[in-house]
Amino acid sequence: MRHVSWVAVVMCAACSTLTPAQNTRNEDLFTAARSCETGSLTVTGISTDGAPETRTTGSGGSDKDAFVKCFDAKATPIWRAYCEKEPNADKCARK
């Protein structure tokens, strides 16, 4: 429980620099990332640009590939929805 509270504080510290759409995107990305935790890989937060921050203990990093595959699959629809609302945002530029 303490860990969740700490993450909320860290995420709220970034809230002042993010738009409401970015806040919603990052909350959804954090939930998706947490659901992809594997073995000793834990999610510690989401950066302001939507990248997951992780910590791995005792596995030599072997859990990272499974996490990346899972997170990419779950994050894609979140990014699509965000980019439909904010097409000119960073990481949403349509070429």
What b-and-e string marks burial along 4-32, b requiring 16 or more CB atoms within 10 Å of the CB?
A: eeebeeebeeeeeebeeebeebbebbbeb
At residue 1, does pLDDT exceed 60?
no
Cβ-proximal residues to 83 (8 Å cutoff; 6+ apart), any chain? 89, 91, 92
Confidence class of residue 44 from pLDDT cuts 50, 70 and 90? very high
What's this model's pTM, rounded to 2 decimal places? 0.78
pLDDT of 48-72, one tens digit each?
Answer: 999 999 998 876 667 888 999 999 9
